[in-house]
Each structure stands twice: as structure tokens, then as C-alpha cells.
Amino acid sequence: MRAKAAILYEAGTPLRFEEVEVAPPQAGEVLVRLYAGGVCHSDLHVMKGDLSMPMPIILGHEGSGVVEDVGAGVKSVQPGDHVIPIWRVSCGTCEYCNGGRPALCDVGTEMRVTGLMEDGTTRFSVAGEPVRHFAGVSSFSEVSTMPEAAVLKIPKDFPLDKAALLGCGVITGVGAVANGARVKMGSTVAVFGCGGIGLNAVQGARIVGARRIIAVDVAEQKLEYARTMGATHTVNAADVDAVAAIKDLTDGRGVDYAFEAIGITKTIEQAYAATKKMGTCVVIGVTRADVRVNINANEMVYAEKTLMGSLYGSARPKIDLLHLMEMYRSGQLLLDELLTRTWPLAEINDAYAALERGEVARSLVLA
């Protein structure tokens, strides 16, 4: 089958929108016709060379679509089903899967690193030359072949554009708050970085009942988005010392929980510094492979601070994504306000330029 896709041939160059050959699903695989793909910083890290991946590759790990065909042995979905891709495939039997952390499963890690299916091959090609997958999803293609474990069947009456937001940005941000840090009702929270992940950490804090939610960014438009998501206070770090401002808002103590959703040394260190005694600092942002941070280790002892990370919202995607859908239906989870722009897939480079300029809360490319 032929389809149009956005292909990255070399880091630091634009994506090329061209025709690819998509092989039919093998045993245990499904063919999905994508409705939308999320414009996320994780793909941008690969495009810029911050994260190393074999190329050429079709990026995109967040999205939604409709199953078009299934391979032998597939039982959880059938043609016509609406699905959300899950960008960390899990085996379901290892210690991480059984421990409620399927995103840490080695099967998904191997697929992300190699850009190949579990059998060590790819289902994409151009002129007979293989093209790699991204995270087992590759949602920047009109059609994609994925492992059965990489798709979740969803109700057909749930809007596919809103569903496309859930698979990364929403579950990662909300999940880091609810699952990773387990933020308590009445707590104080600071979120550094108000992009797609950070905005969902803000609304996650609102949902669990944090009494003070401080959003930090250098772009006023992003801070306005954060107020819409539930921030009670905002700090423009381009104008003031963010750590000092947070301490001023918390009687000099700092916050119970700080979330870093950018992935750079300075903001990770600031988030940790803004955390109070017995507080927890959670790093969500993906960094360059060479990024290191300087932390005063004595603060871990004398202040009993915790520094931790959270991958994929420390979630069980096949359970938590369905919960998030119900939260949207009940009005708790804001998705309409989060989606601020859509683009044709052919204009994906423009979509990423707008993301880097901070013009959107979350946007989608529509296949």
C-alpha cells in the first residue's frame, strides 16, 4: 500500500513529505489509517539531533486513527475500530509490566532505540530502501503498521481529534502529577515549562485539588494558556528570578511539588531549588543525552528532598487513557481549550515552526 508520510532523512533538516510503501500487517500487527498526529517536542528532539535515532525515519508518536487491517492472531481490535497509539509497547509479563510501569518495559525501549518492529525489520520503504518506525507508531504517515500492543481500542463516539491529544501530552503531564508524584489535595505545586506536557501537569494539579498552582515560563502566551488550565499564579522567568518568586508566593518555603517539563539543566536545577523541605521535584522533560545537572546532595539529607523522574505519566496507558476519556466527558479534563491549532500533514514543518515560537498550546497534523 502507498501512503504519504513526513520523513526525516537527517537531523537538522526539514521533514520531507513524500510517498512511502507500507507493508501489510504481519502476525500480531495492525494497519492503522491515521486521523491525526500530535505535534510534540519529543519528535522535535529527534529532528534537531538532541535524541539520536537511525534514519530515515517516520516520526510521530501521539495520535488517533481507525484500524484498516489486522494480521494473524490479532484479537483486541478489528477493522473499523477507533484507536489511540501507545508509544511504549510492553510485553505484559515482565517485572515492570507486572509492577504497573509498562512504559519501562524493555520491549518498548528496544523498539524506540532501533526504529524497528519486534522481528527486527520495518514495514516502511521508499524506492525499496527501508525507512524506520518511531516508537512503534509513526503517526506522521497517512497509514502505519503497528504492533497490536501499540494500539488501544476506544469508543467510536469519542472525537478523534481530542483522542489524539491523550496518548502523550495529556497522559504524561496529568499522570506525572497523579501517578508519579501522587500530589496530595491542598498541596502547593510549581510547573516549569508550559508547553503541551507542562500545561497538562498544571491541569493535573488542578484535578487532584492542589490549592496553589504556580506556572513558570518565559512566554506570556504560554502563561495565559496555563491560567486557562488552572494555574492560580504565573511567573514570567524572563522578568524575575523564578525560584525567588515561587518562594515569595509560599512564605519563603518553596512548593510541595515541582515539575520540570522542558528538559534543560537550568530549569531542572531551578525546580529542585524551588522545592521545600520534604518536597518532591519531578523531571518530565526529555533532555539531550549529554545534559547533566548540579544538585546539592546535602539538601537530600538535611531537607529530605526527593528528586525523581516520570516517563509516560508513570501510567498504565491501556487503563489510564480510558479514565482520561471519562474525565473529559465529565468536564474535569480540558481538551477543547488545549487544542489551539490543526494543520494538514503536508504542512508539518510549519506546525513545528509554530511550536518552537510558542504560538500553540497543543496542535495536530491531520492526515
Could you list the active site residues?
Answer: 40, 42, 45, 61, 168
Distance CA 240, CA 43 (A): 31
Distance CA 69, CA 203 (A): 36
Cis ω before 56 (30° cut-off from 0): yes
What is the full DSSP assignment across 279-305? EEEEE-S---TT------HHHHHHS--
In the chain, the amino acid numbered 59 is: L
Quick count: other Cβ atoms within 10 Å of Cβ 324? 25
Angle of helix 220-229 versus helix 196-208 axis, rounded to 10: 30
Distance CA 122, CA 58 (A): 11
Burial code (b: 16+ CB inside 10 Å, e: under 16) for 219-245 equals: beebbebbeebbbbbbbbbeeeebbeb
